[in-house]
Structure 1
Amino acid sequence: MGQPVPELPVEDVERSQQHYRDTLGFEIAWLYPGKEIGAVSRGKVAIFFRKRTQPFEPAVHWVFAEDIDATYQELQALGANIVQPLAEMPWGLRQFTVEDLDGNRFYFHHD
C-alpha cells in the first residue's frame, strides 16, 4: 500500500501552491487547466489542493519529523505561519503547529 495523499480545500489553488513552496519548502508538481486542482510535493510527500465551492472545516494533519529541531528551524526561516511554537507536550511529544492560508493545520511532532 502506498502513502495517502491529502486533498485540501482551498480558496485559491495557485496561491496555495506558491505558499507551500515559499513557506514550507515544497515544489509545485502540477496545476490542472482551469486552476481548480493542483499539487505540491516534497520528497515522498504529496498534497493535492482543490478549489473549495462551499464553506468547509479546515483539515488537521499530523506529520512525524525525524529531526524536529531542524524542521522547526527550517520552517521558521522560510516564514511558515507557526501558530504554536516547538514545545514538549504533557503527552510526551515534542511538537509545533503550522497553519496555512486557509486554516488547515499541520502538527509536526517527534516522540
Structure 2
Amino acid sequence: MEILNSRLILRPQDWDRSLRFYRDVLGLAIAREFPGGTVFFLGQGFLEISGRGGPGPSPDQVLWLQVREVRAEFERLRDHGVTVLAEPERQPWGLDEAWVADPDGMRIVLVEIPADHPIRTDVRPPQA
C-alpha cells in the first residue's frame, strides 16, 4: 500500500467550539475548509474536524503533538483555560510530556524530545 496522504478525523459534539479550540487556542494553521469541516496542518499530517459526534472520544484515543518547548506550550494552554490532565514531566522513556484535553475530552499529549534523547541523537558508532 502506498500512502499519499493521511489525516485524523474528529467528529466533535460542538463543531464551532472545536474549531475555536484547534484554531484559536492550539493555534493550528488551516490547510483547507469545506462546508461543515476544517482541515488543519498537524506537522507531517492533518487533523480534520467535521460532522457531529456522539458522547465523546474513547479513552484509548490520544492526539500526540510534538512541540519545541513543552513547558511553554503547556503554560500557554493552561492560561487559555484548557483542561489539564497532567503537568509536564520527564517520562521513564525519556520524553517530556504534558497532557491536556480538548472540549470533547479528546486527550492530547504534548511531547518535547530532549536534545540528548536517542530519537534526536545519532547513536551509530562513528565511521572510520
**Structure 1 CA distance, aligned partners of 2:23 and 2:80?**
9
Find the counterpart in structure 1 of residue 67 from structure 2: 65
Out of 25, 28, 48, the residue aligned to residue 23 of structure 1 is 25
Find the counterpart in structure 1 of residue 78 from structure 2: 76
- Which structure dedicates a bigger proportion of its chain to helix? 1
Q: Gaps (5+ residues) in structure 1?
A: none
Report the alpha carbon displacement of residue 57 of structure 1 after superposing the two structures with TM. 3.4
Report the alpha carbon displacement of residue 75 of structure 1 after superposing the two structures with TM. 2.2
Q: Does 1:85 align with 2:80?
A: no
- Which structure dedicates a bigger proportion of its chain to strand? 1
Count, aligned residues: 109
Q: Does 1:50 align with 2:50?
A: yes
> Structure 2 length as normaliser, TM-score?
0.64
Report the alpha carbon displacement of residue 76 of structure 1 after superposing the two structures with TM. 2.5
> Structure 1 length as normaliser, TM-score?
0.72
- Identity within the alignment, %: 27
Report the alpha carbon displacement of residue 68 of structure 1 after superposing the two structures with TM. 1.9
Query: Which structure ranks higher in relative contact order (CA pairs < 8 Å, sequence separation ≥ 6)?
Result: 1
Give the aligned CA root-mean-square deviation in angstroms. 2.8
Report the alpha carbon displacement of residue 88 of structure 1 after superposing the two structures with TM. 1.8
